[in-house]
Amino acid sequence: MNYIQGMSTAPSSTDQKPPSPSERAARQKEIVAALGRHLPAHALLWNAEDTTPYECDGLTAYRQRPLVVALPETEEQVQAVLRVCHGLEVPVVARGAGTGLSGGAMPHALGVTLSLAKFNRILEVDPVGRTARVQCGVRNLAISEAAAPHNLYYAPDPSSQIACTIGGNVAENSGGVHCLKYGLTVHNVLRVRGFTIEGDPITLGSEALDVPGYDLLAAMIGSEGMLAVALEVTVKLIPSRSSRAASWRASTMCAKPVTRWPQ
Ligand SMILES: Cc1cc2nc3c(=O)[nH]c(=O)nc-3n(C[C@H](O)[C@H](O)[C@H](O)COP(=O)(O)OP(=O)(O)OC[C@H]3O[C@@H](n4cnc5c(N)ncnc54)[C@H](O)[C@@H]3O)c2cc1C
């Protein structure tokens, strides 16, 4: 069994057979030893007091402490976690801010929770191309804050936007009221770069308007973390209302007929 676990419905109590304490302890020791060869000590949590904060997402009725929480800081470390877990047949559950309401980030009793909280950098805002390239752990609202000096913003606005991450938005195809006009995450993301569950690099979409071949980006967006781990996301930016009003005023002023020439 090896997969990124994300569930669109509440997990039933029969989904996961509880492991015996000795089975759990032995598996935990094995995984910590294997991951410890690739991650620094502070990037691995396995004691109950450290893993309890990860036992559920926004669907708090269901709780399960993960065997191990990995908090990688580099892409190489993410790749190593995925490769090691694939080799050991350990389920991996990606986690952004844990605000999901469908149990997608709910841990597996014998699995690794892959927290992407440290991937929180805005890599580039391109005001001319109206795009932003950000790491997966960047908060939804932080994208609009970074784009605001250019009178631009990122349109999909889940009510949790102050906390939820763009990686979680991609996995859940999230949206809010702006989506009535500008579409959901799937309509506002150009490109996703990350790793497959085997740890192979993958890029879906492009910064161009369209790419040849199957629209795998649309399959990835809304896949609840089941298809790949997103590490870098390129989003479209929309002119904010004030800049649209200014350009409208400018265009109407330019369009005004000249009725009187200066003498
Ligand atoms: C108060 C509140 C209001 C909300 N309002 C809205 C709303 O208006 N609209 C809406 O759509 N949702 C809403 N939500 C739900 C939730 O905020 C969204 O689904 C959000 O996109 C989850 O983001 P997250 O970073 O918290 O992801 P998490 O909860 O951590 O994870 C969600 C899923 O994404 C996967 N995942 C996370 N990061 C990655 C990654 N980098 N690569 C691959 N998979 C990943 C996880 O495995 C999981 O399956 C709300 C939640 C709360 C608590």
Q: Are residues 95 and 184 in the same domain?
A: no
Longest dimension (CA), the chain: 97
CATH label of the domain that carries residue 86: 3.30.43.10
Q: Are residues 140 and 228 in the same domain?
A: yes
| pLDDT (tens digit per residue) in 104-159 | 999 999 999 999 999 999 999 999 999 999 999 999 999 999 999 999 999 999 99
Q: Are residues 30 and 138 in the same domain?
A: no
Ligand 1, residues at Cβ distance < 6 Å: 6, 57-58, 93-101, 104-105, 116, 136, 158-160, 164-165, 167-169, 171-172, 174-176, 224-225, 229-230
Confirm whether 145 is domain-assigned. yes
Token pair in block for residue 87? 């080799």
Query: What distance in angstroms lies between residue 53's CA and the mean position of ligand 1's atoms?
Result: 16
- The answer to whether residues 191 and 230 touch, using CB atoms and an 8 Å cutoff, is no
Token pair in block for residue 75? 């892409």
Token pair in block for residue 193? 């770069």
Q: Are residues 220 and 126 in the same domain?
A: yes
Number of domains present in the structure of the chain: 2
Q: pLDDT band for 7, please (50, 70, 90 cuts).
A: very low
Confirm whether 202 is domain-assigned. yes
Query: pLDDT over 90 for what percent of the chain?
Result: 79
Q: What is the domain extent for residue 74?
A: 21-115
Three-class SS state of 214: coil
pTM recorded for the entire structure? 0.89
| pLDDT (tens digit per residue) in 194-205 | 999 999 999 999
